[in-house]
A and B are shown apart, each in its own frame.
Chain A
């Protein structure tokens, strides 16, 4: 016997049609502004303690403006309804319409980030190729379309003009003098109490035991040069438009 999610039946939708179209996913029937407001109220009481009052991440829950797990409303519904096993994310006790309202509100958090840039994305794509951005950003440097999902146009502009101002801890590099006399360096990828995992400038993956290290110096700056002298303001708008298009 075929089994259908309970909410398909609860919504009274013609499930024969759904079952024939196996690729179809349910879209949210509760998307009015009242529904979003209802979802926001429920969010504040049920979700905000972990995900933050604005849904942008908090103590235990990730930033919901960048949904990694829920590509469709239906999958988001499932996550809210059932929770995520093995994590602190519980299933919601809300009823069907309440969960759909939460889906609507969470989608609105993400939608609020969907800002459009004023530049010409096609010209931005040309600039991206012309300046060889991919050479670094598709290898060791942050992947730009992913980065653009969590950054505002202003933040992206600042990063292009003043890359040294902010470099995330995931991109720190180090140079270590070992007890053996050798010196090693690279980009730190992960670490714990006993080891450091890193990528050498040649791209090799290596792991170092802390007890081997005699002296270590950290470089928290970015190797990216400024583009202030290579791109004018309109160029940067175009480049940002291309990145934002890619993220969306």
Chain B
């Protein structure tokens, strides 16, 4: 026992205090979104505008998995932790890429992911890593050894539940929720004891009978209402509120099966992190007809809004509108389309969309902008306090044709009530791209966060599902479905550096520092690439 005890004693403990103050140790990347405010903004500046042209490959980790590689790594004191989809955890030396250990959770032959057996990452607390699994388990692993400490069943995967999200640790709790919005689940957010795995609270995103919001589901439709969680939320320690974006209602494209607003789908929910009680909510797309999950990263920032410093959430939603909300109260402060949209006349004073008639799915198909993947989606935006700019990856001039049909719920089966045609594939890269740009294109936009004015933009030829990272070096890193990974000047959008990685970027870049060297890491294709300055 002695060697193991020594190992544990030597290993750095990631305390709740360290996670809360993650911005004070920018050489690490301690949570999925980097810090609780989820700005994807790093104070590291060794790589900067003046020297980014010297950025070179440091190492590559080639995954054995052929699934889409959506992971955002964690980095703790020189050790990187990643998940190879579906459920293999690996610890690597962050400066060489060499493996320390690997852990594979064996899945049943059939699980029920909606959109590929993807996984987005881990959480850490003290010396424990938390893995969510496609068979809806939460597994605690010893970060030193990769050995399982405990596992709990979060939901019955045979009912269509799966877990793809990186959990969020707040205090001594691990917070997460299930995916399955296309399989008739009843979504929820839950907190487990980080030490023991005991369930501490659970908030029903689809309210059960007797709970507030249940009345927004007609005809017992709440039973299969969806409301999934698949992107990690944020946390404000001063308010003790944790913010999460919720998924679409089901069946996706047969809204007549679920009369009402369908709370709390397509919403941001602000919960007391200790009790799980709802403090406020804001629903972006009441009675969604298009599958526009609010599965975006909630970006917390303190900005000047109409002459006053306000604590806000900045939110570019899949429905094509950009929102500014007061994060203490949920008050709607501002909203405006950020891409072409044809489904709403605008937003009313409360932020509720003023829907136009006949823009939802139909038997013969209805062409509506934005398309099913939305004006943006799950990949992280970024906020730079240096330039006071909000950066996002927008899908401009992009539409789909939405169809509806009747469908009975069957346990464990797709329950979408319709289908979609779009000229652009939703999540897979095309080997050859010749389609006209008027079928839609991605563009990285820098917005004034208070007004949504476009300060600059960097259009791409194809779509992109890459997140964004801004650094104190004055740089904005992102990638593309095309396989490019690049650095822009965060103030002007000018491209300063680019490398072709040969596989689609469908992840968010991070930065970290080890032994004096700053690194930038990004998953692309089936590999993880890490860059550093050439000597």
Contacts and interface: CB of A to CB of B under 8 A. Distances in A.
Contact of B434 (A57, A60, A86, A170): A170
A59 B426 contact: yes
Nearest to A211: B495
Size bracket, chain B contacts: 35 or more
A91 B414 CA distance: 12
Contacts of A59: 372, 400, 419-422, 425-426
A202 interface: no
B435 interface: yes
A193 B482 contact: yes
A52 interface: yes
Contacts of A44: 405, 407
A45 interface: yes
Interface stretch (A154-162, A184-192, A223-231): A184-192
B506 to A, nearest CB: 12
Contacts of A48: 405, 419
Interface in A144-170: 169-170
B413 A188 contact: no
A46 interface: yes
B344 to A, nearest CB: 22
Interface in A81-100: 85-88, 90-91, 93
A248 to B, nearest CB: 26
Contact of B432 (A49, A86, A170, A194): A170
A170 to B, nearest CB: 5
A60 B113 contact: no
B66 interface: yes
Contacts, number: 102
Nearest to B109: A91
A119 interface: no
A53 interface: yes
B411 to A, nearest CB: 9
Interface in B56-76: 66-68
Interface of B: 66-68, 109-110, 112-113, 115-117, 182, 252-253, 372, 400, 403, 405, 407-408, 410, 412-416, 418-422, 425-428, 432-436, 459-462, 480, 482-484, 498, 500, 526
28 contacts: A44-B405, A44-B407, A45-B410, A45-B415, A46-B413, A48-B419, A49-B252, A49-B416, A52-B403, A52-B421, A53-B419, A58-B420, A59-B419, A59-B420, A60-B115, A60-B425, A85-B67, A86-B116, A88-B115, A88-B116, A88-B426, A93-B412, A190-B434, A191-B434, A191-B461, A194-B484, A194-B498, A194-B500
